[in-house]
Structure 1
Amino acid sequence: LDHAPTKWPKTALYEGVVPRIRRSIIGKKEAEHHKTALAEIVTRMPCPTCHGTRLRPEVLTCLINQTNIAQVLQMDLVKVRHFLNGIQEPLVQDVIRELLRKIDSLIDIGLGYLSLDRPTETLSGGETQRIKIAKFLTSALVDMVYILDEPSVGLHPHDIELIKRAILRLKEKGNTILIVEHNPALIAIGDNIVEVGPGAGTTGGHITFTGTYQALLDSDTLTGKLLKQPLTFRQPRPATSTISLQHIHRHNLKDVSVAVPLGIETVISGVAGSGKSTLVSALRDQLTAPYIDLAQADIGANIRSTPATYLSILDPIRKVFADANHVASSWFSYNGRGACPRCKGKGVTITNMAFMDPVVQTCEQCHGRRYNDQALSYTYHDKNISDVLRMPITKAQNFFADVPAIAAPLRNMARVGLDYLTLGQPLTTLSGGEKQRLKLAVELNRTGTLYLLDEPTAGLHLQDVKKLIQLFDELVADGNSLIIVEHNLEVISQADWLIDMGPDAGIYGGQVRYTGTPENSMTVKQSRTGQAMKQYNQAPERQQNNRH
């Protein structure tokens, strides 16, 4: 270089941009923190040397019964058990017995379809929780307290029976189990039941019942009353047309042909991993008209996104404050002029740690309110902008009742059962079911539309499920079609048409076991869903109501 600084070396080896990125970013543990940025420039593909097995060629030459370790890791757990039982070498029998004990624990809890090399990030929340339960079952630890948060989420009643047995075994080992749950089958096995209510959000927070399951049934609490109600079945509405799927071979679907009716509510059911989502994926490929896909409800949540931003009502709220105070609306944006100078409107400060998860702390300056003092000095009906964003939607409906641009979207939130959320709650704190219902709230008030939903009842109380069923009926009455992947028996019983997949998960599923009305499925022994509804209504606590 001409006139180069004297400190520069006279010669240097330039390694290149790609090698440097590989060495300094991709090859480091910190790469996880740069995942989003790297996704645009990095392509992932199976290693051409090991073909994705992760093992050296020398290792793959070691065989047991003509099988190498990579082939064993690719087997589902049922096949792994068969493989281990075929090893006769005396020296390893103690190891095999311990392996079989752990594998049997996973199979008994309904995870026999998983392979040992399945990446953990591809597991659903329900699968991850069941793996943990299976691990606890083989542990020698006793006198422990285990806390389970809705272990029934994403599970068919058949799978829940397996979970129920596992929980009881865990208790019999001398442990204490604390479960947060809405599912009737898991509530029924509780020795002591605590009901919190009576409502959600600010209308809840009280202990409304504590006692045994029988005492709960005898009480007049909301949960006690609903647990005694048997399933009822609707008079099926006529379909307006059908979509025909012919000879589908995809993932675990085995030459599946089925007609999916439109203009009504159709539920696709089956045990976890039986092929429901794959069937919906094949259905998407056949759709030519526009549709609303709530089954893949990625709403792009980040720390700045809230129900108010997603519903597009934050701008009208800012305008209301601006007009009332005769100032610019930018004062009421936490992304601009009104933002707290310390946290830049996030309400929290985030410290990225090199070798652990980021540390998130409430902002010391704004105390989580996101706004600076100037913005907070302006009020509307004696509330500042932070007060409004902390309001639950139930209260905000009354507060903005005379502002149609705000009131209408809030009414839709109540229709989908999300009126307990606050306007400024970060969307990153919402569950998958809540995000799906939020997306549904935005897409309401349409006609002649097909909605695809995936377990919209996840995390809902029995009463909230009834509200959602009422909303589904309104959507069909407005000329829409609903195709719902669902395990909740109440939703299934109120559908017009049922497609039941099975019989089991993975390669042991992928078949259509029943198509028809939900009520008729109870007479079909090969329909796990039909048999589950039959058993639900035959429970003693519902027999008395059946007679009435």
Structure 2
Amino acid sequence: MREPAGALEIRDAGSHNLRDVDVDVPLGVLTVVTGVSGSGKSSRIEGSLRGRDGVVMIDQAPIRGSRRSNPATYTGMLEPIRKAFSKANGVKPALFSANSEGACPVCNGAGIIYSDMALMGGVSAPCDECEGKGFQAEVLEFTLGGLNIREVLDLPVDAAIEHFGAGESRIPAVVKILKILAEVGLGYVSLGQPLTTLSWGERQRLKLAVHLSAKAADAAQVIILDEPTTGLHLADVENLPQLLDGLVDSGRTVIVIEHHQAVMAHADHIIDLGPGAGLHGGSIVFEGSPNELVAGAKATRSLTAEHLAQYVNS
């Protein structure tokens, strides 16, 4: 159990259903904010901490972008990749963008043709012209390190780290971003996977990776994650505590708004709101370690304590 290095004060929090809540969030540790849906978890954190210096809020707001947006474009790593392809082949960088000159003229770089069937809804099918690749055939003749741009975009993050780590295709700036993507648990996601196919949890971790790779990342000393397990596969949920530990061990304070018992059990500190939802919530029910919450499960009004006790004792 890690020891806190100070506290982040929240005073007179009264947004939504919160009842003038005063609470100290410990610094330098992993704090999980719990409670039933509607108990005031997100309201208290977002309303009280969002916008403070050094605080980054990674919420579940949609990632903006077109159907051609993917991790490579969203993180900015496609730009150095395009330039490397350009230099290696003596052609324009614009050829290696599905949003520019190299795009298939039929599907406009999407690789998919979308058809509006009116009352039957929309349908999609791979583009016959580019066979779903999104690029003109002549563009795919150019390679970097033995792979064309489509093959590069089809690489999972873990494989891309090796590809861009040495030889003709070595691009240190790209490797730096890729390693951060791997650290946040996205090593299996391909560079060109459409953002629309990512789960909520995957999009949230992608946004976290962008924050961590930014030049101002060192200024983000408090990271808030809003229910990062949403949409994650069970195996990814099991890997999440390791990611959170890595963020804390790097000197950051991590606050997670979460309902999953595996994340609760891994916390250094728990702040539980309730006891119910809506008008029946908005109060601090418990503050302390997971073990203390479980030990007092019978005495507290906390539903979280009951569920966590069942999880720990199962």
Decide whether aligned partners of structure 1 residues 236 and 383 sit closer, same or farther in structure 2, where only a CA change above 3 A counts.
closer
- Give the CA deviation at 1:447: 3.5
- Structure 1: which 5+ residue stretches go unaligned? 1-234, 540-548
Aligned residue for 2:114? 350
Per the TM alignment, residue 430 of structure 1 is displaced from its structure 2 partner at its CA by 0.9
User: Equivalent residues in 2 for 1:420-431 (5 A)?
Assistant: 420-431=188-199
Equivalent of 2:142 in 378, 390, 406: 378
TM alignment of 1:69-468, pairs within 5 A: 235-246=1-12, 248-284=13-49, 288-355=52-119, 357-402=121-166, 403-444=171-212, 446-447=217-218, 449-468=221-240
User: 2:288 is matched with which residue?
Assistant: 516
Conserved 8 A contact 1:454-1:484: yes
Deviation at 1:309, TM superposition (A): 0.5
Q: Find the partner of 1:503 among 256, 275, 295.
A: 275
Query: In the aligned structure 1, how far is the partner of 2:176 from the partner of 2:86?
Result: 21
- The answer on whether the counterparts of 2:60 and 2:200 sit within 8 Å (CA) in structure 1 is no
Deviation per CA, 1:364-402, whole angstroms, max 9, x where unpaired?
Answer: 211211101110111223321111111222221211112
Distance 2:207 2:8 in 1: 26
Alpha-carbon shift at residue 322 of structure 1 (Å): 1.7
Deviations 1:274-316 (A, max 9, x none): 211111232136x531421102443213201101101211112
The 1-side partners of 2:241 and 2:310 are apart by: 22
Q: Distance in 1 between matches of 2:46 and 2:93?
A: 44
Pair 1:356–1:250, CA change in 2 (3 A): farther
Q: In the alignment, what sits opposite 1:475?
A: 247
Which residue in 2 is equivalent to 1:528? 303
Shift in alpha-carbon separation, 1:493–1:239, aligned structure 2, 3 A: farther
Secondary structure at the residue paired with 1:522?
A: helix
Which secondary structure state, in structure 1, belongs to the residue aligned with residue 121 of structure 2?
coil
What TM-score results when the alignment is normalised by the length of structure 1?
A: 0.52
Q: Is the 8 A contact 2:108 2:134 kept in 1?
A: yes
Aligned partners of 2:11 and 2:20 also within 8 Å: no
Tell me, yes or no, if structure 1 residue 538 matches structure 2 residue 313: yes
Q: Is the 8 A contact 1:297 1:435 kept in 2?
A: no
Match of 2:260?
A: 488
Deviation at 1:454, TM superposition (A): 0.8
State the AA in 2 paired with 1:243.
E
User: How far apart in 2 are the matches of 1:237 and 1:482?
Assistant: 13
Q: Which runs of 5+ in 2 are unaligned?
A: none
Flag the 1:447–1:337 CA change in 2: closer, same or farther, 3 A. closer
Tell me by how many angstroms 1:487 deviates: 1.4
Matched residue of 1:468: which SS? helix
Amino acid at match of 2:301: Q
Cα deviation code 1:56-97 (max 9, x no counterpart): xxxxxxxxxxxxxxxxxxxxxxxxxxxxxxxxxxxxxxxxxx
The residue aligned with 1:95 is none
Q: Distance in 2 between matches of 1:368 and 1:284?
A: 44
For the residue of structure 2 that corresponds to 1:258, the secondary structure is: strand
- Per-residue CA deviations over 1:96-141 (Å, capped at 9, x if unaligned) read xxxxxxxxxxxxxxxxxxxxxxxxxxxxxxxxxxxxxxxxxxxxxx
Q: Offset at 1:494?
A: 2.1
Determine the C-alpha separation between the residues in 1 that align with 2:275 and 2:58.
Answer: 26
**Residues 426 and 258 of structure 1, relative CA distance in 2, 3 Å threshold:** same
Please provide the CA RMSD for this pair.
2.1
Shift of 1:267: 0.9
Q: d(CA) in 2 for partners of 1:360 and 1:462?
A: 29
1:58 aligned partner = none
Task: Write the distance in 2 (CA, Å) between the matches of 1:280 and 1:508.
Answer: 18
User: CA separation of 1:356/1:275 partners in 2, compared to 1, >3 Å: closer, same or farther?
Assistant: farther
Residues 398-425 of structure 1 deviation map (CA, whole Å, 9 limit, x = unaligned): 1111221111111111111111111111
* Paired positions, count: 303
Q: Could you say what secondary structure the match of 2:155 adopts? A: coil
Question: What residue identity is the alignment partner of 1:254?
Answer: R
Q: Is the 8 A contact 1:236 1:497 kept in 2?
A: no
Question: Quick check: which has more Rg, 1 or 2?
Answer: 1
Q: Which amino acid aligns with 1:299?
A: I
Distance 2:52 2:175 in 1: 34
CA 1:478–1:382: 2 relative to 1, 3 Å: closer
In the alignment, residue 381 of structure 1 is paired with which amino acid? G
Distance 1:456 1:537, change over 3 A: same
In 2 relative to 1, CA 466–528 (structure 1 residues): closer, same or farther, beyond 3 Å?
A: same
Instruction: Using the TM superposition, give the Cα deviation of residue 433 of structure 1 relative to its aligned residue in structure 2, in angstroms.
Output: 0.7
Matching residue's letter, 1:386: R
Paired residue secondary structure (1:371) = coil
Q: Work out whether residues 273 and 506 of structure 1, in 8 Å CA contact, stay in contact via their aligned partners in 2.
A: yes
C-alpha distance in 1 between matches for 2:67 and 2:234: 31
Distance 1:288 1:334 in 2: 38
Give 1:170's aligned residue.
none
Q: Determine helix, strand or coil for the equivalent of 1:381.
A: coil
Q: CA deviation at 1:354?
A: 4.5
- Which residue identity is paired with 2:218? T
For 2:4, give the aligned amino acid.
P
